[in-house]
Structure 1
Amino acid sequence: MSNSSAPAGWHDDGTGTLRWWDGAQWTQHTHVPQTVDKARPSTAASQFARNLVQKDDPSTDPGALWSAVGKPVTGIGGGRYKLTEEYLYFERGTLSTRAQQIRTHEIHDVDANQTMTQKARGVGTIVLFSIRSTGARERVELIDVENFREGVSALNRVSHEARERLRTKQQTQHVNYSGFHPTPTSPAHSTPSVDAAPKVDLNNELARLVAFKDQGVLDDEEFAAAKRKLLGL
């Protein structure tokens, strides 16, 4: 080393090797610095990266019938959407995420639109209308979705199937308003009286009216009138 006043320590001896300088002369001790292979991250780092990808990609959920991630122009703040048999889940936001969900049988109309800018980027917006169990009506937009036509098809199909399942369930609980007569147990009761009052299960009928109101089939006035009629008020 040309500068003999250099402090003791590891220094480049001029050949690219770190050698120990004792303050006066070179010693035989050399040091090879450890290098990090940046192309092959550690197992922990790799798992962390995979977790981030899975978190941002709803398609990794095996229960998803359809999923998408919004692709806004800015590249940030895109929504994440996932459809299952029972729910449509959607999240929006970056720093503060607002997650919501809609039951599929509450979805009643699904359509799509695409601006010229979106067409140039290969994305579109899915627009759906829902009627909540509370009777509230909502318009929901799934913005800047790449596979938006596939999403419209999936949403229409799944929501239709969910409504059919609900309708079948309600029909099994239906009680005929015209009444019924029990099977006669003796010849003396073979002919039911024409004056026999119809038998109605009030609990089931009230539950049925509430379901109709929750679905938006009956408004508040219609529900109140049907309830009064059922109770004979």
Structure 2
Amino acid sequence: MAKKFNPPPGWPEAPEGWLPAEGWQPDPSWPPAPPGWQLVVELGDPDTLWSAKGMTLTGLGGGKYRLTSTLLHFEKGIVSTNAQQVPVAHIIDVDMRQAMVQKARGVGNVLVHVQRASSIEIVVLEDVPEPRTAVAIINETARLGRLREQQLHNTHHYAGMAAHQPMAMAAPAAPAAAPAPVDPMEQLRRLGELRQAGLVTDDEFTSKKSEILARL
């Protein structure tokens, strides 16, 4: 089956169809690959970061396990298959248990601790070849998944805050323009018209005239 280069987190994407030649070494400036990371995967399943089949003593009924950047898939059963998957962001820890007989065979049980709604569930991947490698890869993938989920949560949180922010207060109204100054000569003219019309007395006319002239 054809294969595909699988760059670890932080590495640049490789050209389409490129595979590392024998003895190839990554650029020293790139971050180190997680322990056990598969640099080459089957092209038929490009999302797979790690996969394994449980190597039981009888060779029958071994589970099938597959890890992507978002999900851990596991299948168990001989006659009927029980297939499940868990989001990697919900994996909070991974460790290993290895009996003496398993150690002699180079396999072990990988215990995946999954955060459920109200409890922690332990998913056991049984008789996994190179179990330490599996633990390292699943742990690192889970860490990256939790980081992505946290970043997404923060993005939604700040977006929600912005949506509920009160509308910006309107800029304060500009102060009312000061009334145009009154022309004293116009006031005197109108005052004279009021006097001629008999609307003000001579005394009122004289008093108001003196007031207007005092402002000149």
| TM-score grouping bracket, smaller chain normalisation | 0.5 to 0.7
Is the contact made by 1:131 and 1:137 (CA closer than 8 Å) also made in structure 2? yes
Say whether residues 1:152 and 2:144 are aligned partners. no
Q: Distance in 2 between matches of 1:87 and 1:148?
A: 18
The one-letter amino acid of 1:93's match is G
**How far apart are residue 135 of structure 1 and its match?**
3.2
Shift in Å, 1:120 = 0.6
Q: Is 1:187 equivalent to 2:187 in the alignment?
A: no
CA deviation after TM superposition for structure 1 residue 61, in Å: 2.3
Per the alignment, residue 221 of structure 1 pairs with none
Indicate if the aligned counterparts of 1:126 and 1:143 stay in contact, CA closer than 8 A. Answer: yes
Report the alpha carbon displacement of residue 103 of structure 1 after superposing the two structures with TM.
1.0
Of residues 88, 99, 104, the one that matches 1:115 is 99
User: What letter matches 1:183 in structure 2?
Assistant: A
Scaled by the length of structure 2, the TM-score of the pair is: 0.54
Q: State which of 76, 83, 89 in structure 1 corresponds to 2:67.
A: 83
For residues 171-182 of structure 1, the aligned pairs below 5 Å read 171-174=154-157, 175=160, 182=167
RMSD (CA atoms): 2.5
Higher gyration radius (CA)? 2
Q: Which of these residues, 162, 170, 178, is aligned with residue 145 of structure 2?
A: 162
Taking the aligned partners of 2:45 and 2:102, their CA distance within structure 1 comes to 27
- The one-letter code matched in structure 2 to 1:82 is R
Question: Corresponding residue for 1:29?
Answer: none
**1:179-221 deviations in whole A, cap 9, x for unaligned?**
85543431359xxxxxxxxxxxxxxxxxxxxxxxxxxxxxxxx
Kindly state the Cα deviation for residue 168 of structure 1 after the two structures are TM-superposed.
Answer: 1.1
Identity %: 40
Distance (whole Å) between structure 2 residues aligned to residue 124 and residue 113 of structure 1: 6
Runs of at least 5 residues in structure 2 that lack an aligned partner in the other structure: 1-40, 175-216
Structure 1 residues 180 and 62: CA distance shift in structure 2, 3 A:
closer
Question: Would the aligned equivalents of 1:69 and 1:79 in 2 still touch at CA under 8 Å?
Answer: yes
Stretches of structure 1 that go unaligned for 5 or more consecutive residues are: 1-57, 190-233
1:131-186 CA-partner distances (Å, limit 9, x unpaired): 13x4343111111111211211111111111111111111122255xx85543431
1:93 aligns with 2:77: yes
CA separation in 1, counterparts of 2:98 and 2:53?
16
Cα distance, 1:188–1:164 mapped onto 2, change above 3 Å: farther
Counterparts in 2 of 1:58-69, with a 5 A limit? 61-69=45-53
Taking structure 1 as the reference length, the TM-score comes to 0.51
Number of equivalent positions: 130
The alignment partner of 1:78 has SS state of coil
Bigger relative contact order, structure 1 or 2, given CA contacts below 8 A and separation 6+? Answer: 2
